[in-house]
Amino acid sequence: MIKIRFWGGPDNIEGFMVWGHSGYAPPGRDIVCAAVSAICTGALIGLVDLFPRNTRYIILPRGLIYCKMRGRLTASRARQAQLIFRVAFLSLKAVQRSYGEYIDLVGG
């Protein structure tokens, strides 16, 4: 099962962590893992691109992604970060609706 945790409230997400494997299909053919990885990696790329000094992250090859914002952002930049986090959360929620037995999503 893939576990996904978002920290903070719906309008103040501070970060997320994803780990595990879905077990939906063999490695290399697992559409659930692929979807979750694409969504989380896309969010992380956007955050690092826009906020390189404020985005702390770790990616481990065995299926862990950790991303957390640090430091202060202006109100405008904080809204941009929240938009990225919110889109990622809603996208993961959509995957969970279709493949809920393979995803444990909390927060957001």
Return averaged pLDDT per consecutive 10 residues of the chain, 108 residues in all: 94 95 93 97 98 96 92 95 97 97 94
Q: What is the pLDDT of residue 55?
A: 98
SS (H, E, C) 37-74: HHHHHHHHHHHHHHCCCCEEEEEECCCEEEEEECCCCC
Question: The whole model's pTM is what?
Answer: 0.94
2-106 — its CATH code? 3.30.70.1490
pLDDT in tens, 64-86: 999 999 999 999 999 999 999 99
Q: What is the pLDDT of residue 82?
A: 97
In angstroms, the Cα distances linking 21 to 4, 75, 80, 106 are 11, 36, 30, 16
Q: What is the pLDDT of residue 65?
A: 97
Domain locations in the chain?
2-106
